[in-house]
Structure 1
Amino acid sequence: MTRILNPILRGFHPDPSILRVGDDYFIATSTFEWWPGVRLHHSRDLVHWRPIGYALTRTSQLEMLGNPDSGGIWAPCLSHDGAQFYLIYTDVKTWGNGEVFKDAHNYLVTAPSIEGPWSEPVYLNSSGFDPSLFHDEDGRKWLLNMRWDHRKGRNAFAGILLQEYDPQQKRLVGPVHNIFRGTPLGVTEGPHLYKKDGWYYLVVAEGGTTYAHAVTVARSQRIEGPYEVDPCYPTLTARGHPELPLQKAGHASLVQTQQGEWYMAHLVGRPLEPPQALRRHCPLGRETALQKIRWSPDGWPRLWHGSNTPALEVEAPALPAHPWPKEPERDDFEAPTLSLHFQTLRHPPDPSWLSLTERPSYLRLFGRESLSSRHRQSLVARRLQHFYAEAETVLEFEPQHFQQMAGLVCYYDTGNWVYLRVSRDEALGKTLSILTCDNGHYDEPLDGELGIEGWSRVYLKVRYQRDTFGFAYSANGLDWSEIPLRFPAYKLSDDHCRGLGFTGTFIGLCAQDLSGARLHADFDYFVYRGLE
């Protein structure tokens, strides 16, 4: 029997919205401050998945300069009405750091195919986040989103709103209905609506997107409600089961196969620490998993294996196996565009700061702002997707002074990173050193900088060994010197980074020129290799 091995999308892939169109399955996930916006994956059998691109690729669709860490794209919803694709998304401009307000703007784009082109956005509302679109059998379309209540002493998660969307007028019309205020689990968000056997099923996330996360289902025979809660809620959770390898289970969406089988896509986290640890951390971020669903005799969705906890292995649907070609570990930057695995921060790459053509087969980055900037960083990075992994590059860079830097960075957000960088010291000349930032606290943990004057090429490597990671360097790519420092992997996780993050560890190439001269750095290749 073929099995689905969870998580199906490893590394930072939260808030999955799953959709079937014909024989093809798609998942859209949140990208937060990483550009492009809304990552898309494709499968034919629910077992094998491949990235196929992003939906939001123009600044007219998404402008994130200045957005806060873990702001930007929250919880997209992908749907299809038989004629075209619809994507609903939130761009979060304000949240966290003591803010009681959430400036969260909801938009709609459409496309004739999953590859696009995706349209210019239609503004919908700003009353809350996690929007989704439901296409009813009568042709009407309905927007749902949670409602944010900033007032002191109130439940901030103030219910799930429903309003009709008119595609001809390209705007919301008619009354706003608050159709569901949640259960005692609280933090009611992430709504998705489905219709089956005359019932409207409302699937919501509850409990908060950490270790109390859950999926709750309610239903009604009228779209406006009232909605009754599944008497056996929550439908899915790892809450109270620290022994499970998959934690944080919640924020789900449903899909039906061609043969009538049902599956639930949901987010999970895999902690480093054992169940008895006082605090647990997930540096890979929130990932995507699948569970098989059956329907109870009285019409409620239940997990196939009989409990309401997430399973590592799940029975696959009765579909022909459809594996994809293995992706290469090495990128020699010979393509005209960046690999789909690479993303940038808040803004798209353009020739003013990134070039794949000025020096063929090299990635050229022009130094811009610091790793603490929320505006114009020259950083290209990919997700860490394995507990055991290594990444390697080689850098050609001739800094003139200490304000010019380039190298290899393990990055979570503007306040949390570990940076192996090449720069220049007045006495030593060209140097290699490590800079760190831990919840905003800057440090230089090496006892002095390493002199590499005269090196035309500097090979850089990072290796993850589950709990810790460390760096090495080389002049020729063959003889490596280990830097005698190990860094805790947990410090680049949602759970550590101010306790408010929603992304995960990235490994990136970057360049800074704090003088404004925009000195360039050339990277010859990038290798990412999972070691598990």
Structure 2
Amino acid sequence: MIKNPILPGFNPDPCIIRVEDDYYIATSTFEWFPAIAIYHSKDLKNWHLLTHVLDNEEDIDLRLLESAKGVWAPDLIYDKNRKVFIVTFTRMASMNGRYFDLDNYLVESENIMGPWSKPVYLNSVGFDPSIFIDDDNKYYVTSLQWEFRDNYEKPGTIVLQEYDINTKKTIGYAKTISTGATDRGCIEAPRIYKRNNYYYLMLAEGGTGYGHCVTLSRSTNIWGPYESRDENPIVTSHLENFNERNKPDSLKIERYKPNGTSLQKSGHASICETQDGQWYLCHLCSRPFLPELRCTLGRETSIQKMRWTEDGWLEMADGTNLAKDEVEEPGLEEVKFKSDCGTFKFSPWPETLISPRINKKHFLSVKDGKAIIRGQQSLCSLDKVSLIARRLTSVNCNFSTSMEFTPEVFQHTAGIAIYYDNMNYLTLEKTFENDKEFLEIVQMDNGKRIECFKEELSFNTKIDLKCRVNYKKITFQYKEANKTDWTNIDKIFDTTKYSDEYSQFGEFTATFCGIFVMDSNKREKMATFDYFQYNDL
């Protein structure tokens, strides 16, 4: 059996494809750099982070963007005719004043590992663009068209537009093809598939929260009209249909229903066919802490087995529409990959370690497998932050490092961090005050800075730092170089605070853990980290 989620931790908006015997999933990365994660599998069960698509700051500028802005909802396809991979994505800049200021782009490559082309501008009508290639090799772009006017249904409509691969431009203006297949509202994430002369329009509806779902409509003409499947939605965590058209709330906490599955918020999907004709659907989901209904791991990626009915509709293989914790494997030869847990030196660089908004080359060098990080702005900044982090993939985990750092003024700090975003994080850090070195815990709680612990250290010594996440509890330990035993810090912190639902700023990302350095004096102070260790327990 395949155990869900197949991509735990921050992996929203999955798009799955198969190219010969290889399966790939692209997921959103928002403000994190490099952007657009690509995962790889041979059997749909075992996955590993293979690469990232956007690794050049000239191609994607994320600086100064608020949390949860940046790169949204990549769509990944393979053009068998031209033998190229194609990725479309949204760069979201602002969601202020009911406007969504964004641009949609396309990049392509002959190899999934790159190099990728320079981004080609598509349009700015709305988010979640995807490409469909018809039998005559015509390209089409579909997306949500965002609606900001009074007296029009929000969030908008699903639109379609031709794309000319020769001129690299869209043709004319986008035309509406759907207002949704149900009345749940909050339509988005359109993808078009073709089978037996039908065009199938797959949508996410109900908001990317507890009313989320996957719907299906079809037409014999790509421009519509599209008829909705009577049994919509085809996958969901919330079985009861409801009418919330024109309601802007996408979280819908009141729609939470346990329904015998740990997977909540199931929606935003894509499908693929195996080598022997089996069908699977990937979708985002979340696993909330109860009773708080807070999702520290954010939106993750799960998979469901599907089947086609005799009358040409797609449904879950067991005939229901409830997202399952475990699904039947396709029977492919199992291929396992090296775990991304364990103790890692920094050469070769682990693909799992990424940074908010900027390329690590601006503040990091590697020597003898050690990471040397130059301090810049605070973790509150939207600009130049010296943080190297990876996704939390379990709420039962630990991480640690060994650090050499000699602060000289109070603006010098370095250590480890639990980081949801620039307004919610928790650090165990070494710093300087009154000619002494200290170890302290700083909590940023919805933008409020709180000093939670401070203890004097022996001067100018190497220090080991460790964090333990034990479900709802976060604790810290440290060990100075001249000591043999770890010292427990008698403070317990609430894991559930690092979640979409706790944030007061409308974010929807997930929790990371990592190492950082801050120098808010001269932007030059260095810290050396021997390794980074992370383990799911």
Same-fold call, TM > 0.5? yes
The answer (yes or no) to whether the contact 2:341–2:536 under 8 Å persists in 1 is no
Taking only aligned residues, the RMSD between alpha carbons, in angstroms, comes to: 1.3
Q: Report the CA distance between 1:269 and its aligned residue.
A: 0.4
Q: Count residues in correspondence.
A: 515
Once the two structures are superposed, residues 71-120 of structure 1 have per-residue CA deviations (whole angstroms, 9 ceiling, x without a partner) of 0111000001111000001111112xx64111111000000011111111
- Higher mean displacement: 388-397 or 472-481: 472-481
SS at match of 1:445: strand
What is the rounded CA distance, in whole Å, between the counterparts of 2:152 and 2:413 in structure 1?
A: 48
Structure 1 segment 207-222 matched on structure 2, within 5 A: 207-222=206-221
Corresponding residue for 1:242?
Answer: 258
Q: Summarize the Cα distance change of 1:235–1:433 in structure 2 as closer, same or farther, 3 Å threshold.
A: same
Once structures 1 and 2 are overlaid, which stretch shifts more, 176-185 or 388-397?
176-185
Question: 1:344 and 1:145 mapped to 2: Cα distance?
Answer: 29
Residue in 1 aligned with 2:300?
Answer: 287
- Given residue 276 of structure 2, which amino acid in structure 1 is its aligned partner? Q
Question: Any idea what the Cα deviations from partners look like across 1:287-336, whole Å, max 9, x if unmatched?
Answer: 1000001112221111112211111111111322222234451112232x
1:94-105 maps to which residues of 2 (within 5 A)? 94-95=94-95, 99-105=97-103
Match of 2:391 in 1: 383
Specify which of 510, 514, 518 is matched with residue 504 of structure 1.
510
> What secondary structure, in the 3-state scheme, does the structure 1 residue paired with 2:360 have?
coil
Larger CA deviation: 291-300 vs 68-77: 291-300
What does the per-residue CA deviation read over 1:220-250, in whole Å, with 9 as the maximum and x for residues that have no partner? Answer: 1100001111111111111153242111100
1:301 maps onto 2:309 in alignment: no
Aligned partner of 2:39 among 27, 41, 65: 41
Partner of 1:495, secondary structure, is: coil
1:425–1:431 contact (8 Å) kept in structure 2? yes
Name the residue aligned to 1:320: 333
Structure 1 residue 474 and structure 2 residue 482: aligned?
no
CA distance in 2, matches of 1:153, 1:435: 47
Query: Does residue 354 of structure 2 align to residue 343 of structure 1?
Result: yes
Give 1:515 shift: 0.9
Letter in 2 for 1:479: D
1:454 positional shift: 1.7
Which of 441, 454, 476 is matched with 1:434 structurally? 441
Q: What letter matches 2:364 in structure 1?
A: L
Structure 1 position 368, deviation (Å): 0.4
Q: Which amino acid aligns with 1:456?
A: T
Asked if the contact 2:341/2:535 (under 8 Å) is kept, the reply is no
Aligned to 1:353: 363
Q: Residue type matched to 1:355 in 2?
A: S
Matches of 1:225 and 1:57 in 2, distance apart? 38
Counterparts of 1:70-149 in structure 2, within 5 Å, are: 70-82=68-80, 83-95=83-95, 99-149=97-147
Task: Write out aligned runs for 1:162-181 (5 A).
Answer: 162-181=160-179
Q: CA deviation at 1:5?
A: 0.9
How far the C-alpha of 1:426 sits from its partner, in A, is 1.0
Q: Say whether 1:483 aligns with 2:522.
A: no
Contact 1:200 1:223 in 2 (8 A): yes
Q: Secondary structure of the equivalent of 2:496?
A: helix
The equivalent residue for 2:250 is: none
Q: Is the contact made by 1:111 and 1:117 (CA closer than 8 Å) also made in structure 2?
A: yes
Q: What amino acid sits opposite 1:45 in the alignment?
A: D
Structure 1 residue aligned with 2:150: 152
Is the 8 Å Cα contact of residues 340 and 352 (structure 2) preserved in structure 1? no
Q: Secondary structure at the match of 1:503?
A: coil
1:363 counterpart = 2:380? no
For the pair 1:261 / 2:281, whether they are aligned, the reply is no
CA distance in 2, matches of 1:106, 1:174: 16
In structure 1, C-alpha distance between the alignment counterparts of 2:172 and 2:61, rounded to whole Å: 29
Structure 1 gaps, min length 5: none
Aligned match of 2:195 = 196
Q: How does 1:504-523 map to 2 (within 5 A)?
A: 504-523=510-529
Report how far residue 438 of structure 1 moved.
1.2
Task: Name the residue aligned to 1:7.
Answer: 5
Distance 1:88 1:138 in 2: 21
Letter aligned with residue 510 of structure 1: F
- Give me the whole-angstrom Cα distance separating, in 2, the residues matched to 1:353 and 1:455: 23
Shift of residue 455, structure 1, vs aligned partner: 4.4
- Structure 2 distance, partners of 1:376, 1:153, is 42
Amino acid across the alignment from 1:439: N
- Identical-pair percentage: 38
Contact 2:406/2:460 (8 A) holds in 1:
no
User: Which secondary structure does the structure 2 equivalent of 1:490 belong to?
Assistant: helix
For residues 164-221 of structure 1, what are the alpha-carbon distances to aligned partners after superposition, in whole Å with 9 as ceiling and x for unaligned?
1101000101342110011311000001110011100000111111111111111111
TM-score, with structure 1 as normaliser: 0.95
Distance 2:530 2:322 in 1: 46
Does the C-alpha gap of structure 1 residues 386 and 102 become closer, same or farther in structure 2, counting only changes over 3 Å?
A: same
Task: Give the residue type in structure 2 aligned to 1:259.
Answer: D
Tell me the distance in 2 between the aligned counterparts of 1:57 and 1:361.
Answer: 22
Measure how far apart 1:397 and its partner are: 0.6
Contact residue 106 and residue 121 of structure 2 kept, 8 A: yes
Kept after mapping to 2: 8 A contact 1:455/1:475: no
Cross-structure match for 2:205? 206
1:462 maps onto 2:467 in alignment? yes
**What does the per-residue CA deviation read over 1:484-509, in whole Å, with 9 as the maximum and x for residues that have no partner?**
11111111111111262221110011
Contact residue 259 and residue 318 of structure 1 kept, 8 A: no
Residue 456 of structure 2 is matched in structure 1 by 451
1:345 alignment partner AA = P
Does the 8 Å contact 1:78/1:87 carry over to 2? yes
